[in-house]
Structure 1
Amino acid sequence: MPLLLPTELQFATEYAFSIPDDAFREFQALIRKINHSERCTEKHILETFKKHMAKPAAVEFGTSSNTDWARGDLEWYMEKASQDGPGFIAALHNACEQLSLLETNVPSDLYINQILSKHGLPCHINNSELILAGNVRIPDSNASVSQTVVRALQDAKTLSPASAIDRVHTALHAYLVELCHQASIQLESGATAQKAFKELKNNHAALKPIGNRPAEVANVLNSMAATINALGTIRNHASLAHNNELLLEPEAQAMINAAMTVFRYIEECIARQKKT
Protein backbone atom coordinates (compact mmCIF):
# COMPACT_ATOMS: atom_id res chain seq x y z
CA MET A 1 0.00 0.00 0.00
CA PRO A 2 1.18 3.60 -0.55
CA LEU A 3 3.31 5.10 2.19
CA LEU A 4 1.23 7.16 4.60
CA LEU A 5 2.64 10.51 5.66
CA PRO A 6 1.72 12.07 9.02
CA THR A 7 -0.85 14.86 8.60
CA GLU A 8 1.66 17.49 9.71
CA LEU A 9 3.89 16.47 6.78
CA GLN A 10 1.21 15.86 4.18
CA PHE A 11 -0.12 19.40 4.45
CA ALA A 12 3.08 21.17 5.53
CA THR A 13 3.96 24.45 3.83
CA GLU A 14 7.66 23.95 4.60
CA TYR A 15 9.72 20.78 4.18
CA ALA A 16 10.55 18.97 7.43
CA PHE A 17 14.00 17.98 6.13
CA SER A 18 15.88 17.41 2.89
CA ILE A 19 17.87 14.41 1.69
CA PRO A 20 21.63 15.04 2.16
CA ASP A 21 23.98 14.38 -0.75
CA ASP A 22 25.52 11.20 0.69
CA ALA A 23 22.11 9.65 1.34
CA PHE A 24 20.93 10.81 -2.10
CA ARG A 25 23.79 8.93 -3.77
CA GLU A 26 23.02 5.78 -1.77
CA PHE A 27 19.38 5.91 -2.82
CA GLN A 28 20.51 6.32 -6.44
CA ALA A 29 22.76 3.27 -6.07
CA LEU A 30 19.87 1.32 -4.56
CA ILE A 31 17.71 2.04 -7.61
CA ARG A 32 20.50 1.04 -10.00
CA LYS A 33 20.71 -2.38 -8.32
CA ILE A 34 17.17 -3.26 -9.43
CA ASN A 35 17.46 -5.83 -12.22
CA HIS A 36 15.30 -5.33 -15.30
CA SER A 37 13.66 -8.06 -17.37
CA GLU A 38 11.58 -8.53 -20.50
CA ARG A 39 8.45 -7.89 -18.46
CA CYS A 40 9.94 -4.94 -16.60
CA THR A 41 12.48 -3.13 -18.77
CA GLU A 42 15.10 -0.70 -17.52
CA LYS A 43 13.18 2.18 -19.07
CA HIS A 44 9.99 1.11 -17.33
CA ILE A 45 11.84 1.05 -14.00
CA LEU A 46 13.23 4.54 -14.60
CA GLU A 47 9.84 5.90 -15.71
CA THR A 48 8.16 4.43 -12.63
CA PHE A 49 10.55 6.22 -10.30
CA LYS A 50 10.21 9.41 -12.36
CA LYS A 51 6.43 9.30 -12.09
CA HIS A 52 6.51 9.01 -8.30
CA MET A 53 9.31 11.58 -7.88
CA ALA A 54 7.37 14.13 -9.93
CA LYS A 55 5.06 14.98 -7.02
CA PRO A 56 7.69 15.92 -4.40
CA ALA A 57 9.73 17.54 -7.20
CA ALA A 58 6.70 19.70 -8.02
CA VAL A 59 7.11 19.08 -11.75
CA GLU A 60 4.80 17.68 -14.41
CA PHE A 61 5.65 14.10 -15.30
CA GLY A 62 6.63 13.43 -18.89
CA THR A 63 7.87 10.25 -20.55
CA SER A 64 11.47 10.30 -21.79
CA SER A 65 12.21 9.45 -25.42
CA ASN A 66 14.69 6.67 -24.65
CA THR A 67 16.48 4.89 -21.79
CA ASP A 68 19.50 7.21 -21.76
CA TRP A 69 17.29 10.28 -21.49
CA ALA A 70 15.23 8.55 -18.79
CA ARG A 71 18.36 8.07 -16.66
CA GLY A 72 19.25 11.75 -16.84
CA ASP A 73 15.66 12.86 -16.33
CA LEU A 74 15.27 10.67 -13.26
CA GLU A 75 18.38 12.19 -11.70
CA TRP A 76 16.91 15.66 -12.29
CA TYR A 77 13.55 14.64 -10.79
CA MET A 78 15.29 13.14 -7.77
CA GLU A 79 17.48 16.21 -7.21
CA LYS A 80 14.43 18.47 -7.10
CA ALA A 81 12.45 15.99 -4.98
CA SER A 82 15.29 15.67 -2.46
CA GLN A 83 14.39 19.08 -1.00
CA ASP A 84 11.17 17.47 0.26
CA GLY A 85 12.65 14.66 2.36
CA PRO A 86 9.38 12.97 3.41
CA GLY A 87 8.00 13.21 -0.13
CA PHE A 88 11.22 11.77 -1.55
CA ILE A 89 11.05 8.77 0.79
CA ALA A 90 7.38 8.21 -0.01
CA ALA A 91 8.12 8.33 -3.75
CA LEU A 92 10.94 5.82 -3.36
CA HIS A 93 8.77 3.42 -1.33
CA ASN A 94 5.76 3.74 -3.64
CA ALA A 95 7.80 3.21 -6.82
CA CYS A 96 9.35 0.07 -5.35
CA GLU A 97 5.94 -1.21 -4.37
CA GLN A 98 4.54 -0.62 -7.86
CA LEU A 99 7.48 -2.43 -9.47
CA SER A 100 7.10 -5.37 -7.09
CA LEU A 101 3.68 -6.02 -8.64
CA LEU A 102 5.56 -6.98 -11.82
CA GLU A 103 7.46 -9.62 -9.85
CA THR A 104 10.56 -7.44 -9.86
CA ASN A 105 12.92 -7.71 -6.90
CA VAL A 106 13.09 -4.31 -5.23
CA PRO A 107 14.74 -3.08 -2.02
CA SER A 108 12.54 -3.55 1.02
CA ASP A 109 11.82 -0.85 3.59
CA LEU A 110 14.62 -2.36 5.67
CA TYR A 111 17.21 -1.11 3.17
CA ILE A 112 15.60 2.32 2.99
CA ASN A 113 15.55 2.53 6.80
CA GLN A 114 19.22 1.55 6.98
CA ILE A 115 20.16 4.50 4.77
CA LEU A 116 17.89 6.86 6.73
CA SER A 117 19.45 5.74 10.01
CA LYS A 118 23.03 5.85 8.67
CA HIS A 119 22.66 9.49 7.68
CA GLY A 120 20.73 10.60 10.76
CA LEU A 121 17.47 11.38 8.99
CA PRO A 122 14.70 11.80 11.61
CA CYS A 123 12.28 9.14 10.39
CA HIS A 124 11.80 5.52 9.43
CA ILE A 125 9.19 3.40 7.64
CA ASN A 126 7.05 1.04 9.69
CA ASN A 127 4.07 -0.89 8.29
CA SER A 128 3.69 1.43 5.28
CA GLU A 129 3.75 4.55 7.45
CA LEU A 130 6.47 7.16 7.73
CA ILE A 131 7.22 7.54 11.44
CA LEU A 132 8.97 10.71 12.54
CA ALA A 133 11.42 10.61 15.43
CA GLY A 134 9.26 11.47 18.41
CA ASN A 135 6.15 10.12 16.74
CA VAL A 136 5.56 7.27 19.17
CA ARG A 137 1.98 7.75 20.23
CA ILE A 138 1.45 8.21 23.97
CA PRO A 139 -2.17 7.62 25.02
CA ASP A 140 -3.71 10.58 26.82
CA SER A 141 -3.71 10.19 30.58
CA ASN A 142 -6.55 11.03 32.95
CA ALA A 143 -6.70 14.48 34.51
CA SER A 144 -6.12 13.10 38.04
CA VAL A 145 -2.53 12.08 37.27
CA SER A 146 -0.03 14.35 39.04
CA GLN A 147 1.58 17.24 37.19
CA THR A 148 4.94 15.45 37.36
CA VAL A 149 3.47 12.50 35.49
CA VAL A 150 1.68 14.70 32.97
CA ARG A 151 4.91 16.51 32.15
CA ALA A 152 6.76 13.22 31.71
CA LEU A 153 4.09 11.91 29.33
CA GLN A 154 4.09 15.14 27.36
CA ASP A 155 7.87 14.93 27.05
CA ALA A 156 7.56 11.39 25.72
CA LYS A 157 5.29 12.55 22.90
CA THR A 158 8.10 14.59 21.38
CA LEU A 159 10.90 12.04 21.73
CA SER A 160 12.18 9.09 19.76
CA PRO A 161 10.93 5.61 20.77
CA ALA A 162 13.93 4.78 22.92
CA SER A 163 13.86 8.18 24.65
CA ALA A 164 10.12 7.84 25.24
CA ILE A 165 10.72 4.60 27.18
CA ASP A 166 12.88 6.52 29.65
CA ARG A 167 10.30 9.26 30.15
CA VAL A 168 7.35 6.86 30.49
CA HIS A 169 9.23 4.83 33.09
CA THR A 170 9.86 8.08 34.96
CA ALA A 171 6.14 8.87 34.76
CA LEU A 172 5.11 5.44 36.03
CA HIS A 173 7.61 5.54 38.89
CA ALA A 174 6.54 9.03 40.00
CA TYR A 175 2.86 8.10 39.80
CA LEU A 176 3.17 4.95 41.91
CA VAL A 177 5.27 6.68 44.57
CA GLU A 178 2.79 9.56 44.74
CA LEU A 179 -0.14 7.19 45.25
CA CYS A 180 1.71 5.52 48.12
CA HIS A 181 2.28 8.89 49.75
CA GLN A 182 -1.37 9.88 49.29
CA ALA A 183 -2.50 6.63 50.95
CA SER A 184 0.08 6.97 53.77
CA ILE A 185 1.78 3.77 52.63
CA GLN A 186 5.36 3.76 53.86
CA LEU A 187 8.11 3.42 51.27
CA GLU A 188 11.83 3.27 51.74
CA SER A 189 13.79 6.16 50.27
CA GLY A 190 14.60 5.45 46.62
CA ALA A 191 12.03 2.66 46.29
CA THR A 192 11.71 1.27 42.76
CA ALA A 193 8.54 1.40 40.69
CA GLN A 194 8.11 -2.36 41.20
CA LYS A 195 8.40 -1.98 44.98
CA ALA A 196 5.91 0.91 45.02
CA PHE A 197 3.39 -1.10 43.01
CA LYS A 198 3.83 -4.11 45.30
CA GLU A 199 3.06 -1.94 48.34
CA LEU A 200 0.03 -0.44 46.61
CA LYS A 201 -1.26 -3.86 45.60
CA ASN A 202 -0.92 -5.17 49.16
CA ASN A 203 -2.07 -2.10 51.08
CA HIS A 204 -4.26 0.19 48.97
CA ALA A 205 -7.97 -0.53 49.44
CA ALA A 206 -8.78 0.38 45.83
CA LEU A 207 -6.57 -2.43 44.51
CA LYS A 208 -8.02 -5.25 46.59
CA PRO A 209 -9.61 -7.81 44.22
CA ILE A 210 -13.39 -7.64 44.61
CA GLY A 211 -16.40 -8.99 42.76
CA ASN A 212 -16.24 -12.05 40.55
CA ARG A 213 -13.08 -14.13 40.03
CA PRO A 214 -10.87 -12.42 42.64
CA ALA A 215 -8.14 -15.04 42.21
CA GLU A 216 -7.84 -14.34 38.48
CA VAL A 217 -7.87 -10.59 39.14
CA ALA A 218 -5.03 -11.11 41.62
CA ASN A 219 -3.12 -12.95 38.88
CA VAL A 220 -3.60 -9.99 36.56
CA LEU A 221 -2.20 -7.67 39.23
CA ASN A 222 0.80 -9.95 39.63
CA SER A 223 1.29 -9.82 35.86
CA MET A 224 1.25 -6.03 36.06
CA ALA A 225 4.01 -6.22 38.65
CA ALA A 226 6.03 -8.31 36.19
CA THR A 227 5.33 -5.71 33.49
CA ILE A 228 6.65 -2.94 35.70
CA ASN A 229 9.74 -4.98 36.51
CA ALA A 230 10.38 -5.66 32.80
CA LEU A 231 9.83 -2.01 31.94
CA GLY A 232 12.45 -1.03 34.50
CA THR A 233 14.91 -3.53 33.04
CA ILE A 234 14.30 -2.25 29.51
CA ARG A 235 14.68 1.32 30.69
CA ASN A 236 18.03 0.45 32.25
CA HIS A 237 19.41 -1.44 29.26
CA ALA A 238 17.53 -0.48 26.07
CA SER A 239 16.60 3.19 26.30
CA LEU A 240 18.55 6.38 25.86
CA ALA A 241 18.96 6.54 29.64
CA HIS A 242 21.34 3.60 29.22
CA ASN A 243 22.22 3.45 25.54
CA ASN A 244 23.16 -0.20 24.97
CA GLU A 245 20.63 -1.91 22.69
CA LEU A 246 17.87 0.51 21.76
CA LEU A 247 14.37 -0.83 21.16
CA LEU A 248 12.82 -0.47 17.73
CA GLU A 249 9.59 1.47 17.31
CA PRO A 250 7.04 -1.41 17.53
CA GLU A 251 8.58 -2.84 20.72
CA ALA A 252 8.97 0.61 22.27
CA GLN A 253 5.33 1.36 21.46
CA ALA A 254 4.25 -1.91 23.10
CA MET A 255 6.17 -1.05 26.28
CA ILE A 256 4.60 2.42 26.40
CA ASN A 257 1.11 0.98 25.93
CA ALA A 258 1.76 -1.57 28.70
CA ALA A 259 2.80 1.20 31.08
CA MET A 260 -0.30 3.21 30.24
CA THR A 261 -2.46 0.12 30.87
CA VAL A 262 -1.11 0.04 34.42
CA PHE A 263 -1.83 3.76 34.80
CA ARG A 264 -5.41 3.45 33.62
CA TYR A 265 -6.20 0.33 35.63
CA ILE A 266 -5.09 1.95 38.88
CA GLU A 267 -6.90 5.19 38.05
CA GLU A 268 -10.15 3.36 37.35
CA CYS A 269 -9.86 1.32 40.55
CA ILE A 270 -9.38 4.50 42.57
CA ALA A 271 -12.30 6.17 40.79
CA ARG A 272 -14.51 3.16 41.59
CA GLN A 273 -13.51 3.31 45.25
CA LYS A 274 -14.43 6.99 45.46
CA LYS A 275 -17.92 6.23 44.17
CA THR A 276 -18.60 3.62 46.87
Structure 2
Amino acid sequence: MLTFDPSWRFQPPPDGRYRNTAIPPEAIWDFDSLIARIATQGDRWDMLEYFKGAFSRAAGQSHFGSSSESWAESDLSSVMSLAAQNAPLFLEAFYEACEGLRQKGLFAPDALIINDVCRKHGIGYELNPPVLSLRDSASTIKSEPIEVVERPPTIAEKALETLHQSLERSEQLLTEGHTREAVQESLWVLESLATAFRGIEVHGDTVQGKYFNDIARNLRRVAKGTTLERVIEWVTGLHGFLSSPTGGGVRHGMDLGEGVQIGPSEARLFCNLMRSYIGYLLAEHERLKL
Protein backbone atom coordinates (compact mmCIF):
# COMPACT_ATOMS: atom_id res chain seq x y z
CA MET A 1 0.00 0.00 0.00
CA LEU A 2 1.30 3.46 -0.87
CA THR A 3 1.78 6.05 1.83
CA PHE A 4 -0.04 9.37 1.41
CA ASP A 5 -2.41 11.66 3.29
CA PRO A 6 -5.34 9.38 4.34
CA SER A 7 -7.82 12.18 3.60
CA TRP A 8 -6.97 11.87 -0.11
CA ARG A 9 -8.84 8.57 -0.17
CA PHE A 10 -12.06 10.54 0.26
CA GLN A 11 -11.19 13.97 -1.13
CA PRO A 12 -8.11 14.37 -3.35
CA PRO A 13 -6.31 17.73 -3.38
CA PRO A 14 -7.77 20.44 -5.67
CA ASP A 15 -6.23 21.20 -9.05
CA GLY A 16 -3.60 23.92 -9.14
CA ARG A 17 -0.57 24.08 -11.38
CA TYR A 18 -1.18 20.40 -12.00
CA ARG A 19 -4.14 18.04 -12.24
CA ASN A 20 -4.50 16.70 -8.72
CA THR A 21 -8.15 15.70 -8.38
CA ALA A 22 -8.76 13.30 -11.28
CA ILE A 23 -6.81 11.40 -13.92
CA PRO A 24 -7.61 12.95 -17.35
CA PRO A 25 -9.06 10.70 -20.11
CA GLU A 26 -5.94 10.89 -22.26
CA ALA A 27 -3.84 9.60 -19.35
CA ILE A 28 -6.32 6.77 -18.73
CA TRP A 29 -5.74 5.70 -22.35
CA ASP A 30 -1.98 5.63 -21.75
CA PHE A 31 -2.38 3.47 -18.65
CA ASP A 32 -4.78 1.25 -20.60
CA SER A 33 -2.15 0.87 -23.33
CA LEU A 34 0.40 -0.18 -20.72
CA ILE A 35 -2.02 -2.84 -19.46
CA ALA A 36 -2.44 -4.12 -23.03
CA ARG A 37 1.33 -4.59 -23.29
CA ILE A 38 1.52 -6.27 -19.89
CA ALA A 39 -1.22 -8.69 -21.00
CA THR A 40 1.02 -10.09 -23.76
CA GLN A 41 2.88 -12.03 -21.06
CA GLY A 42 0.03 -14.36 -20.20
CA ASP A 43 -3.66 -15.06 -20.64
CA ARG A 44 -5.09 -11.74 -21.81
CA TRP A 45 -8.54 -12.27 -20.30
CA ASP A 46 -7.08 -13.19 -16.92
CA MET A 47 -4.84 -10.12 -17.00
CA LEU A 48 -7.76 -7.82 -17.83
CA GLU A 49 -9.72 -9.29 -14.93
CA TYR A 50 -6.72 -8.82 -12.64
CA PHE A 51 -6.52 -5.10 -13.37
CA LYS A 52 -10.30 -4.80 -13.36
CA GLY A 53 -10.28 -6.09 -9.78
CA ALA A 54 -7.60 -3.58 -8.76
CA PHE A 55 -9.49 -0.60 -10.18
CA SER A 56 -12.83 -1.88 -8.86
CA ARG A 57 -11.42 -1.78 -5.33
CA ALA A 58 -10.10 1.74 -5.92
CA ALA A 59 -13.53 2.85 -7.15
CA GLY A 60 -15.32 1.18 -4.24
CA GLN A 61 -17.08 -1.22 -6.60
CA SER A 62 -17.64 -4.94 -6.35
CA HIS A 63 -15.64 -6.98 -8.84
CA PHE A 64 -17.57 -9.46 -10.96
CA GLY A 65 -16.02 -11.51 -13.76
CA SER A 66 -16.96 -10.55 -17.31
CA SER A 67 -18.70 -13.02 -19.61
CA SER A 68 -16.08 -12.74 -22.37
CA GLU A 69 -12.68 -11.25 -23.09
CA SER A 70 -14.17 -8.39 -25.10
CA TRP A 71 -16.56 -7.56 -22.26
CA ALA A 72 -13.64 -7.71 -19.82
CA GLU A 73 -11.85 -5.10 -21.92
CA SER A 74 -14.93 -2.87 -22.01
CA ASP A 75 -15.64 -3.34 -18.30
CA LEU A 76 -12.03 -2.54 -17.43
CA SER A 77 -12.26 0.72 -19.37
CA SER A 78 -15.42 1.65 -17.51
CA VAL A 79 -14.06 0.91 -14.04
CA MET A 80 -10.79 2.75 -14.83
CA SER A 81 -12.85 5.84 -15.65
CA LEU A 82 -14.67 5.50 -12.33
CA ALA A 83 -11.44 5.06 -10.36
CA ALA A 84 -9.89 8.01 -12.20
CA GLN A 85 -12.22 10.37 -10.32
CA ASN A 86 -9.77 10.03 -7.42
CA ALA A 87 -6.23 10.38 -8.79
CA PRO A 88 -4.29 9.07 -5.75
CA LEU A 89 -6.42 5.90 -5.54
CA PHE A 90 -6.10 5.34 -9.30
CA LEU A 91 -2.31 5.59 -9.16
CA GLU A 92 -2.16 3.36 -6.09
CA ALA A 93 -4.32 0.72 -7.80
CA PHE A 94 -2.17 0.67 -10.93
CA TYR A 95 1.13 0.65 -9.04
CA GLU A 96 0.14 -2.11 -6.62
CA ALA A 97 -1.29 -4.26 -9.41
CA CYS A 98 2.00 -3.89 -11.28
CA GLU A 99 4.01 -4.70 -8.16
CA GLY A 100 1.98 -7.87 -7.69
CA LEU A 101 2.93 -8.98 -11.20
CA ARG A 102 6.59 -8.03 -10.76
CA GLN A 103 6.74 -10.23 -7.67
CA LYS A 104 5.56 -13.11 -9.86
CA GLY A 105 8.45 -12.54 -12.28
CA LEU A 106 6.48 -10.68 -14.97
CA PHE A 107 7.47 -7.34 -16.42
CA ALA A 108 5.28 -4.46 -15.31
CA PRO A 109 5.76 -0.68 -15.29
CA ASP A 110 7.68 0.68 -12.32
CA ALA A 111 7.52 4.06 -10.58
CA LEU A 112 9.66 5.70 -13.26
CA ILE A 113 7.23 4.79 -16.04
CA ILE A 114 4.22 5.83 -13.95
CA ASN A 115 5.90 9.18 -13.18
CA ASP A 116 6.59 9.70 -16.89
CA VAL A 117 2.88 9.28 -17.67
CA CYS A 118 2.00 11.71 -14.88
CA ARG A 119 4.46 14.34 -16.14
CA LYS A 120 3.29 13.91 -19.73
CA HIS A 121 -0.30 14.72 -18.77
CA GLY A 122 0.35 17.30 -16.06
CA ILE A 123 -0.79 15.02 -13.22
CA GLY A 124 0.44 16.49 -9.96
CA TYR A 125 1.89 13.45 -8.22
CA GLU A 126 5.34 11.98 -7.84
CA LEU A 127 5.75 8.33 -6.92
CA ASN A 128 8.76 7.42 -4.82
CA PRO A 129 7.70 4.04 -3.36
CA PRO A 130 6.20 3.68 -0.91
CA VAL A 131 5.45 7.43 -0.84
CA LEU A 132 3.06 9.23 -3.17
CA SER A 133 3.51 13.00 -2.90
CA LEU A 134 2.27 16.15 -4.59
CA ARG A 135 4.64 17.56 -7.18
CA ASP A 136 3.85 21.10 -5.99
CA SER A 137 5.02 20.41 -2.45
CA ALA A 138 7.97 18.28 -3.61
CA SER A 139 9.31 20.92 -6.01
CA THR A 140 8.77 24.06 -3.93
CA ILE A 141 12.07 25.89 -3.38
CA LYS A 142 12.40 28.20 -0.39
CA SER A 143 15.14 30.75 0.11
CA GLU A 144 15.26 29.91 3.83
CA PRO A 145 14.57 26.39 5.05
CA ILE A 146 11.54 26.30 7.33
CA GLU A 147 10.93 23.35 9.58
CA VAL A 148 7.44 22.02 9.05
CA VAL A 149 5.91 19.90 11.78
CA GLU A 150 3.60 17.38 10.14
CA ARG A 151 0.16 17.01 11.68
CA PRO A 152 -0.11 13.54 13.21
CA PRO A 153 -3.00 11.50 11.82
CA THR A 154 -6.20 11.68 13.86
CA ILE A 155 -7.69 8.61 15.53
CA ALA A 156 -10.38 8.55 12.82
CA GLU A 157 -7.79 8.62 10.04
CA LYS A 158 -5.79 5.83 11.69
CA ALA A 159 -8.96 3.77 12.03
CA LEU A 160 -9.87 4.22 8.36
CA GLU A 161 -6.34 3.26 7.33
CA THR A 162 -6.60 0.10 9.45
CA LEU A 163 -9.91 -0.85 7.82
CA HIS A 164 -8.49 -0.22 4.35
CA GLN A 165 -5.43 -2.38 5.06
CA SER A 166 -7.66 -5.19 6.30
CA LEU A 167 -9.79 -5.08 3.13
CA GLU A 168 -6.62 -5.22 1.04
CA ARG A 169 -5.50 -8.22 3.08
CA SER A 170 -8.87 -9.89 2.43
CA GLU A 171 -8.45 -9.41 -1.31
CA GLN A 172 -4.94 -10.85 -1.17
CA LEU A 173 -6.21 -13.90 0.72
CA LEU A 174 -8.92 -14.42 -1.91
CA THR A 175 -6.33 -14.27 -4.68
CA GLU A 176 -4.19 -16.83 -2.86
CA GLY A 177 -7.15 -19.19 -2.40
CA HIS A 178 -7.52 -18.76 1.37
CA THR A 179 -11.28 -18.38 1.21
CA ARG A 180 -12.27 -18.77 4.87
CA GLU A 181 -9.55 -16.39 6.04
CA ALA A 182 -10.57 -13.82 3.41
CA VAL A 183 -14.20 -13.85 4.57
CA GLN A 184 -13.06 -13.71 8.19
CA GLU A 185 -10.95 -10.61 7.49
CA SER A 186 -13.85 -8.81 5.78
CA LEU A 187 -16.20 -9.75 8.62
CA TRP A 188 -13.73 -8.25 11.09
CA VAL A 189 -13.87 -4.96 9.17
CA LEU A 190 -17.68 -5.01 9.29
CA GLU A 191 -17.71 -5.69 13.04
CA SER A 192 -15.10 -2.99 13.68
CA LEU A 193 -16.94 -0.42 11.57
CA ALA A 194 -20.11 -0.99 13.60
CA THR A 195 -18.39 0.40 16.70
CA ALA A 196 -17.97 3.76 14.93
CA PHE A 197 -21.75 4.28 15.21
CA ARG A 198 -21.68 4.05 19.00
CA GLY A 199 -22.59 7.44 20.46
CA ILE A 200 -23.94 8.87 17.19
CA GLU A 201 -27.33 10.58 17.39
CA VAL A 202 -30.05 9.53 14.95
CA HIS A 203 -33.43 11.26 15.01
CA GLY A 204 -32.74 12.54 18.52
CA ASP A 205 -31.78 9.11 19.88
CA THR A 206 -28.23 7.96 20.64
CA VAL A 207 -26.85 4.66 19.36
CA GLN A 208 -25.57 2.50 22.20
CA GLY A 209 -23.99 -0.93 22.61
CA LYS A 210 -20.61 -2.55 23.07
CA TYR A 211 -20.61 -5.47 20.64
CA PHE A 212 -21.73 -5.85 17.02
CA ASN A 213 -25.16 -7.37 17.69
CA ASP A 214 -25.99 -4.81 20.41
CA ILE A 215 -24.99 -1.88 18.20
CA ALA A 216 -26.78 -3.30 15.14
CA ARG A 217 -29.98 -3.87 17.16
CA ASN A 218 -29.80 -0.33 18.55
CA LEU A 219 -29.05 1.18 15.17
CA ARG A 220 -32.04 -0.55 13.57
CA ARG A 221 -34.27 0.81 16.32
CA VAL A 222 -33.20 4.45 15.96
CA ALA A 223 -33.13 4.30 12.14
CA LYS A 224 -36.56 2.69 11.81
CA GLY A 225 -38.24 3.27 8.45
CA THR A 226 -35.03 4.19 6.62
CA THR A 227 -32.73 2.49 4.14
CA LEU A 228 -30.16 2.25 6.92
CA GLU A 229 -32.55 0.07 8.95
CA ARG A 230 -32.96 -2.30 5.98
CA VAL A 231 -29.19 -2.47 5.33
CA ILE A 232 -28.49 -3.24 9.00
CA GLU A 233 -31.07 -6.05 8.78
CA TRP A 234 -29.22 -7.55 5.79
CA VAL A 235 -25.83 -7.07 7.45
CA THR A 236 -27.05 -8.74 10.63
CA GLY A 237 -28.41 -11.71 8.68
CA LEU A 238 -25.12 -12.18 6.80
CA HIS A 239 -23.12 -11.75 10.01
CA GLY A 240 -25.26 -14.37 11.76
CA PHE A 241 -24.90 -16.89 8.94
CA LEU A 242 -21.13 -16.47 8.65
CA SER A 243 -20.68 -16.65 12.43
CA SER A 244 -22.81 -19.75 12.97
CA PRO A 245 -21.06 -23.15 13.21
CA THR A 246 -23.72 -24.54 10.87
CA GLY A 247 -23.30 -21.58 8.50
CA GLY A 248 -19.99 -20.12 7.39
CA GLY A 249 -18.31 -21.00 10.69
CA VAL A 250 -15.71 -18.24 10.44
CA ARG A 251 -16.06 -16.96 14.03
CA HIS A 252 -17.12 -19.82 16.32
CA GLY A 253 -15.70 -22.76 14.43
CA MET A 254 -17.50 -24.97 11.92
CA ASP A 255 -19.87 -27.81 12.73
CA LEU A 256 -18.07 -30.69 11.02
CA GLY A 257 -21.36 -32.48 10.40
CA GLU A 258 -23.62 -29.66 9.22
CA GLY A 259 -21.29 -26.72 8.53
CA VAL A 260 -21.01 -25.09 5.09
CA GLN A 261 -17.66 -25.16 3.32
CA ILE A 262 -16.85 -21.78 1.79
CA GLY A 263 -15.61 -22.23 -1.78
CA PRO A 264 -14.02 -19.58 -4.04
CA SER A 265 -17.36 -18.44 -5.53
CA GLU A 266 -19.07 -18.15 -2.15
CA ALA A 267 -16.06 -16.36 -0.64
CA ARG A 268 -16.02 -13.81 -3.48
CA LEU A 269 -19.78 -13.27 -3.07
CA PHE A 270 -19.54 -12.79 0.72
CA CYS A 271 -16.55 -10.43 0.44
CA ASN A 272 -18.20 -8.36 -2.29
CA LEU A 273 -21.39 -8.10 -0.25
CA MET A 274 -19.47 -6.96 2.80
CA ARG A 275 -17.48 -4.43 0.76
CA SER A 276 -20.76 -2.97 -0.51
CA TYR A 277 -22.18 -2.77 3.01
CA ILE A 278 -18.94 -1.26 4.34
CA GLY A 279 -18.98 1.43 1.63
CA TYR A 280 -22.58 2.33 2.41
CA LEU A 281 -22.03 2.36 6.18
CA LEU A 282 -18.97 4.59 5.87
CA ALA A 283 -21.00 7.08 3.84
CA GLU A 284 -23.88 6.92 6.35
CA HIS A 285 -21.47 7.44 9.25
CA GLU A 286 -20.07 10.57 7.60
CA ARG A 287 -23.60 11.88 6.97
CA LEU A 288 -24.89 11.21 10.49
CA LYS A 289 -21.96 12.70 12.38
CA LEU A 290 -22.30 16.08 10.63
Larger-Rg structure: 1
